[in-house]
Amino acid sequence: MMISGLSPLAPSSAAGAQPATAAAQSGNVSFEEALGSVIGSALGTLQAGETAAIQGIQGAASPMKVVESVMDAQRSLQTVLAIRDKIVSAWQEVSHMAI
């Protein structure tokens, strides 16, 4: 399964963006930072999908916008679940290793 829609790990240099840390500038991004970035992006996408769905029910958003937002939210949720499954699998593998 291909994972699509992940944001780049390094912060963008768009106007108004927060300055990059020294670790991100040198290309050394920790696992914690990368995972936090992916989860933060997924949460934002899920919230946007929820907001669009509510606006669609109220008649303030077009059905096309609602469908696109909900599909983006679904893709983000599937990505987070796939990451969670890999982490659980890795933890089980480590816990079964002989010492």
Please report the sign of the dihedral spanned by the C-alpha atoms of residue 30, residue 82, residue 5, residue 44: negative
Chain-centroid distance, C-alpha 56: 23
User: What's the number of domains the chain is made of?
Assistant: 1
**3 within some domain:** no
Number of H helices, E strands in the chain: 3, 0
**4 within some domain:** no
Percentage of the chain lying above the pLDDT 70 cut = 74
**66 within some domain:** yes
Query: CA nearest 34: which of 91, 68, 79, 96?
Result: 79
pLDDT at 64: 94
**Residue span of the structural domain in which 75 resides:** 30-95
pLDDT at 29: 87
User: For residue range 51-71, what is the model confidence (pLDDT) as tens digits?
Assistant: 999 999 999 999 999 999 999
**87 within some domain:** yes
